Amino acid sequence: MQNIPSQSITITQWKDPVVEKHGYCISDPYVEMFWLPVLGPTATWLLRRFSFGLLEQPDGVTLDIHDLARSLGVAYSPGKHNSFTRSLQRCTMFGVAHQIALLPTLTVAVRTTLPPVSQRHLARLPETLQLAHQQWGATLSVS
| Per-residue pLDDT reduced to its tens digit, 108-122 | 999 999 999 999 999
| Side chain identity at residue 69, one-letter code | A
Give the pLDDT of residue 119. Answer: 94
Give the pLDDT of residue 6. Answer: 62
The fraction of the chain above a pLDDT of 70, given in percent, is 92
Give the pLDDT of residue 102. Answer: 77
Distance CA(85)–CA(4), nearest Å, equals: 8
Give the pLDDT of residue 105. Answer: 80
Q: 3-class DSSP state for residue 102?
A: coil
Give the pLDDT of residue 143. Answer: 45
What does DSSP say about strands 113-114 and 24-25: parallel, antiparallel, or unpaired?
Answer: antiparallel
Give the pLDDT of residue 137. Answer: 78
Strands of the sheet with 106-110, listed across from one edge: 61-64, 8-13, 106-110, 97-101
Instruction: Quickly state the pLDDT bin for 142 (edges 50, 70, 90).
Output: very low
